[in-house]
């Protein structure tokens, strides 16, 4: 019996086999890459169309064919528009597009004597202090939906979805006494509000400047003291989360600090932001697992549009709008919206400080853009 490994003459066989395997692997790899790079354009567009905007941008730098395919199927999100109340007594309302820096106008007599309280899915929630009437208004279609009357004194109000959907819930929280809050809800088709009182922990204080937002079917309520209340409409339960308030001592001592807070949600994530004159904004994201507020040095391409009444967040925006915060303030006669870049760690346009307490928070609100701009004057 012979052992082939003892004969050096046969060593080249093993080496040749190994070289052949390497050559085959390289050939297969080359063929695979050629197939990927030269696949039919229709198939390539179909694959790239499933990618996020960030992944689409990465794919576009592979080669010219991929660039062409990526551009053809690229879908960027649209930023919300800023609706500005008229400074005169007329019914002309301005809508400002922060992306194009252009303004559009609509005559909306439905807003006369009313104040916008919240905006979502292209709808406004309006309240009249004189008649205590509450209504939904789609400013682009002029559709008006009236709700049962309810006195809204010092409480904030929000809704979960467009009133034309079955998932719509309107909610407001009112402080009754020490340790007691009243939560009122309304659903489309209801003839009256449903109000239930809940026991409350003392550190939780209700105020006009509290923040209320709906996220994944739950209503999150940020109090002046930084505690987070959560209302579950399906279970009709109210609980104060054990999440400690974020450390914002520098902001707490600022003038009218409560006017510089904003809260937004995006795909199940909750964000809060603190601002103050002479200080850069600080943004926190709620860590639902560890029950803590995590300070964000970057938004990972997210863009937040902050205002007192309702704040929004967008993920797939193009250009310099990514990883920034846009505020409800327009300067230079409509030439620019005040923003803060987390990438550059600075305001645009540059200024020593921005004091949001100097601006009437109820004169502007972010709202989804229209599908057709031909409706404007």
pLDDT value at position 353? 61
- Model pLDDT for residues 342-352, shown as the tens digit of each residue: 999 999 987 65
Work out the pLDDT band at 169, boundaries 50, 70, 90: very high
Task: Kindly report the length of the chain.
Answer: 377
Domains, the chain, ranges and CATH? 4-73 (no CATH), 81-375 (2.120.10)
pLDDT value at position 75? 61
**Residue matched to tokens 């649209």:** 78
| Residue range 347-371: mean pLDDT, rounded | 81
Contact 75, 346 (CB under 8 A): no
- Per-residue pLDDT at 16 exceeds 50: no
DSSP 78: P
- Model pLDDT for residues 93-136, shown as the tens digit of each residue: 999 999 889 999 999 999 988 989 999 999 999 999 888 899 99
Question: CA-CA distance, 126 to 116, in Å (whole number)?
Answer: 5
- Per-residue pLDDT at 73 exceeds 90: no
Work out the pLDDT band at 188, boundaries 50, 70, 90: very high
- Per-residue pLDDT at 177 exceeds 90: no
pLDDT value at position 332? 65
Query: Cis omega (within 30 of 0) on the bond before 349?
Result: yes
**Residue matched to tokens 């709008």:** 321
Return the HEC string of 57-72.
Answer: HHHCCCCHHHHHHHHH
State both tokens at 213. 């937002």
Average pLDDT of the chain, as a whole number: 83
Strand (E) or helix (H) holding 358:
none
Please state the pTM of the whole predicted model: 0.80
| Residue range 4-20: mean pLDDT, rounded | 40
Q: Which of 134, 190, 128, 132 is nearest to 158 (CA)?
A: 134
């Amino acid at each position: 019996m012979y052992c082939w490994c003892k004969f050096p003459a046969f060593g080249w066989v093993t080496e040749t086999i190994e070289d052949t395997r390497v050559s085959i692997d390289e050939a297969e790899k080359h063929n695979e890459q050629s197939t990927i790079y030269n696949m039919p354009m229709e198939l390539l567009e179909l694959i790239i169309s499933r990618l996020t905007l960030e992944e689409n941008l990465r794919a576009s730098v592979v080669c010219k064919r991929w660039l062409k395919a990526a551009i053809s199927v690229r879908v960027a999100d649209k930023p919300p528009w800023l609706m500005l109340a008229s400074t005169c007594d007329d019914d002309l309302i301005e809508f400002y597009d922060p992306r194009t820096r252009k303004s559009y106008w609509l005559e909306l007599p439905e807003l006369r004597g009313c104040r916008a309280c919240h905006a979502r899915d292209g709808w406004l929630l309006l309240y009249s202090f004189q008649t205590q009437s509450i209504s939904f208004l789609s400013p682009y279609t002029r559709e008006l939906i009236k709700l049962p009357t309810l006195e809204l004194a010092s409480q904030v109000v929000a809704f979960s979805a467009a009133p034309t959907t079955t998932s719509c819930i309107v909610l407001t929280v009112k402080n009754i006494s020490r340790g007691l809050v009243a939560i009122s809800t309304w659903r489309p088709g209801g003839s009256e509000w449903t109000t239930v009182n809940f026991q409350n922990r003392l550190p939780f204080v209700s105020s006009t400047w509290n923040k209320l937002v709906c996220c994944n079917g739950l209503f999150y309520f940020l109090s002046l003291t930084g505690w987070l209340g959560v209302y579950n409409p399906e279970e009709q339960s109210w609980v104060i989360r054990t999440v400690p308030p974020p450390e914002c001592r520098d902001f707490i001592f600022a003038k009218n600090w409560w006017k510089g807070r904003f809260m937004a949600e995006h795909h199940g994530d909750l964000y809060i932001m603190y601002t103050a004159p002479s200080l850069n904004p600080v943004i926190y994201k709620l860590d639902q697992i560890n029950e803590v507020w995590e300070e964000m040095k970057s938004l990972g391409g997210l863009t937040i549009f902050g205002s007192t009444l309702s704040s929004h967040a967008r993920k797939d925006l193009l250009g310099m709008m990514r990883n920034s915060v846009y505020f409800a303030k327009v300067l230079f006669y409509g030439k620019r919206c005040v923003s803060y870049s987390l990438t550059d760690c600075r305001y645009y346009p540059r200024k020593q400080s921005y004091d949001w307490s100097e601006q009437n928070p109820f004169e502007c609100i972010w709202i989804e853009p229209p599908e057709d701009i031909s409706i404007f004057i």
